[in-house]
Structure 1
Amino acid sequence: MKNITFKKQFIISILLVLILSILFTVAGAYVEIKLIQKGIVLKANYYESRVPEVETYINKNKEKVLNKNFKKDLESIIPIQGIEYEVVNSKGELLYGHFNEIIVQAPVKLKKQSEIDKSESPKMIKYISIINNNKIEGMVILKYELKLSARNPKFNWIVKYLDVFTMLAPFIYIIIFTFVFASKLNNRLKIPLNQLMIGAEKIKNKDLEFKIDYKSKDELGMLCNSFEEMRVELKKSLQEQWKMEQERKEMVGAIAHDLKTPITIIKGHVEGLIDSKRLEEGKVYRYLDLINKNADRMTKLIEKMNILTKIEKSDFTLKFKRCNIIEFINDKTDDYNILADNKKISFEYTIKDERISNGLINMDCGALSAILDNLVSNSIRFTPEGGSIYLNLYLTEEKIILSISDTGCGFSKKDIANIFKKFYQGDESRSKEKGHSGLGLYIVRTLVNKFNGSIEAKNNEKGGAIVSVSMFVS
C-alpha cells in the first residue's frame, strides 16, 4: 500500500475493517452454536425446559415433598446447578430448600394455581402449588434464569463473558481491527514524518547537514522529495548568510552583556554626586576616579569586540602581569556595593590569605575582572530586594579560590545541567529578566579553563545559588 495515495489507503483500510469484523463475528457465532450442539454450553431456556418434569414429579409426590427427609429425592430431579428452590408449608413457612439467598421472604403467600413470576426477567420464579383434596398443603418455589450456561457450573463465568462478547462482538472487532490498521498506518507514517520533523528541527537550529531519503509515490513521498529539494537550495543560499548573522549576534551579544555592568556603575556614581547636598572634594574626586575607571573599562570592552571569538581560539593566551590581588578585590567590591545598593541587596566579602608572602602575584586582572563581573551580576539579577550576596576569596601560593553565593532563587535542575552552555539564558521558570545574552557564564567557564581551573554551580543548603571557582596562579 506504500505506493498508492492516502485516500485509497484509507478506503481500503475501512473496507478491510468491516469485512474482517463480519467474518470474525460469524466465526464466533458458529463456534457458539457448535458448543451448544455438543452440550458443552446449555441453551438459555435449558433449565426452563426442565421445569415441567420437576412439576410433574412434585404433583406425583405431593405429601412426600413436604417432608424434609425427601430433600435428596427432590434434588435428584431438580438440577440444582441451575435451579434454586424453596419448599414452604401451608402457613407459608420455609421447610427446606437449596438457594444462595432466600427466594421469597416468609411467610409466603400461597397461590391456588401454579404460575410464573416474570417481573425480574431474565430471572424467573415458578410457583408450584401442592393441593390435596382442594386444600393447599404447601408450595415449591423454583428460581432460574433464561441465559446461556455451562454444563459444568465451574465454567459459568466463561459462558457469561462469552454471551456478552457475542452481543458486542461486531463492535469489539471493529475497534480491534481499526486499532490494528491505524497502528500499521501510523507505523508507515512515522518514518517520513520523523524525518520531516527532525529535518525541520535541524533547519531551525541552522543545521542543513542531513538528507531526507524516504522514497514513495504517495503524498508523503512527494512531500519528502520537495522538502529535500528545499533543503538543498536553502543550504546553497543561506549557509553564508547564517554564518555572517551568527558572527554578528555573538559579537553584539557579548558586548551588550559586558557593557551593562560599567554603565550601571557610572550611573550609580553620577546619581550619588547629584543626590549629594554637600559635595566634599575628596568624595567628588573619588567618584570621578571610579567613573573614569569604568569609562576606561567600556572603552576596553569596545576595543575587544571580538573577545568571545578570541578566547575560544586554541592559541588564545592570558596576559599575566604583577598585581596586588587584595587591592584589586577591594576596588572591585566598591563597584559591587553600588550595584547591590541599587537593588537594595546586602553585599559582603571576606578574604582569607594563607600566602607566606602577601606581595604581588602574576595575574591577568582583565580576565579575573570579567569572571567576577559576570558572576556578581548574575547573583544580583536573581537575588530579590533585601537579599544578600557573599564573595569569599581564598588565596594560597598556587591557587585563587573564590565563591559567590546569594539568597536568591537558586538553580533549577535544568540550569545546573546547562548553565555554562553558550547562549543558555536560564530556566524560564527561574529567569525573570530577559534580554541578556546568555554568554556571561560561558565566558566565565572559558576563561577559567584558560587558567587551568575548575568551576562548579550548585544550590546552597539554606537556599540560593553558589558558584565556586578555582584557578592556578602563574
Structure 2
Amino acid sequence: MKDKPLKSQIRLTIVLIVVSSLLATIVTYAAGIWLFSYLLYKKINPANYYEAQIPGIEAYIREQGGALIDPAARERLERVIPRDGMDYQVFDAAGNRVYGSSDAAYVAQPEDLIRRLNTTFPARGRFVRAVPVVSGQDGLSGAVLLAYELKVSPASDSGRYWIAALLIVMIATPFIYFVLAILFFTKRFAARVNKPLQMLMAAARQIKNKNLDFELDYRADNELGRLSAAFSEMKDELKRSLSAQWRMEEERRSMTEALAHDLKTPLSLILGYAEALLDDPEAARTAKQARYLDIIRENAEKCSALVRRMLYIAELEGPGLQVRPVEVRIGPFLRQKLSHYELEARQRRIRIEADIRGDADAPVRFDAEMAERILDNVMTNSLEHTPPGGRIRIAVRVRPDRAEYEICNTGPPFSKKDLENLFRRFYRGAEARGSKGGHAGLGLYIVRQLAAKMGGAARAYNAETGEACIAFHHAIETPQTSSARREEARQEGCADE
C-alpha cells in the first residue's frame, strides 16, 4: 500500500474506516438481537407483551360480568391485570368512573365511551382498549378501559438494566466503532507518511550539521518516494558542490598562508634596512631621502601588520586554533585593557566611558588572549572613526554563563550596506565610515570568528542616540559550572567503562 499515491491512500483509508465501522456495527447489532431474543420473556418483555394479555383480561371481564362494577371486585380484577405496565378504569352504565389505577381522561364524554366499546384507540400517548361489561339480566352494565404502551419492558427487576444496556450499546456502538476505526487507520496512515518525513527531517539536520555522508533508505513509487529521491539527488549534488567549494577554500587558505609567509621575510628585511638607515647617525642623506625612508618604513610596517593578520586569519580558520580558558576576573581585566587605549584617546581628544555590571570581580574562566584580540580590534575601529571631542562608551554585563560587551562611539552611524557586510572579510566600509589609515578590512571579521570560537556571537547596529555600536558576547565558566562539567565528564567516562 505504501507504493500507492497519497491521494489513493487517503481514499482507501476513508473506505476502510467506513467499511470496518459498518461491519463491526452489524456484528454488534446481530449479537444484540441474539441476546435480546435470549432474554425475551426471562428478563425482557416484547413490545406487544401487554397487548397480548388483553384477550385473557377480556375473557375474565365477560366471565365476571356486572359484578366488576362493584368496588369490592377491585382486588380480584387487579390480580388479572399486569399493573406494572397497564392502567385500567372501570365505568358504570352512565359513564361514571367507579374505580381504577389511573385518573387520566381517555374519553371526553360518556357517549364517546359507548361509541368506542370493543375498539382500540390511541389516547394520551397510549393505546386504550374499551371492553364492555355485560350483565345477563341488565344488559350493558358498564365498561373497562385498559391503557398500555407498545414498547419493550422489563420482565424482572434486572430487566430494566438489560434494556438500558442494550439501548446504549445499539446507539453508541456505531459512533464508538467509527472513532476507533479513525484512530486505528489514521495512525497506520500517519505512520506510513511519517516515516519518510522523519527521515527527511533527520537528513536535513545532518546537512545543517555539515554531515553529507548518509543515505536515505526509503523507496516508494509515490510522491514521498519521489520527494526522498529528489532530496537524495540534492544532497549528492550539494556534497559535490560543497566538496569543490571546500577544496577551493582550503586551497585559498593555504595560498594565503603561503603568500603571507613568503612576504613576511622580505618585508622584515625592507623594514630592518629602512630603520637601520634612519637610525644611523653617520649616514649622509638629504631631507628628501629621509622622507622617502620614512615612507618606506611606514608602509613596510603596514604591510607587516597586514601579513600578521593574514597569518592569524589562516590560523583562525584552520582546525589548529583551540580555546584555552584561564581564570580571569573580568573587572580588573577590562580596566587594565582599557588603560592601554587612554594615551591614544587623549591624543585624539576622545573620552572613554566604562560601565561594568554584574559580579565582575568573581573569578571566571575564558580565553583571555582571544578576548583581548576582540577588544583590540573593536577599540581600534572605534578610535579610528570617533571624531575629536567624541566619546566611546563601553558597557559590560557579567551573567552566570556569559559576558556581554557593548562598545558604541559617536562617529558616523553604520549605513545599511555597512550593517550587511561589516563582518565580511576585506570589507572596508561605506563612504561615511570609509577606509582610514589603510586598514585591510579584517578586524571585525576576526572579531566575529573569535566570538564564535568562544561560544558567542557579534553584531553591529545603530543606537537610538545615533551611536554606532558593536556588541559581542562569549561564554564563561564559573567554578561551579567547571566542577559540574568535570563531574559530568567523569560520569560519562565511568559509563563508557
TM-score range, shorter chain: 0.3 to 0.5
Instruction: Name the TM-score, length of structure 2 as normaliser.
Output: 0.45
| Larger Rg belongs to | 2
Instruction: Name the TM-score, length of structure 1 as normaliser.
Output: 0.46
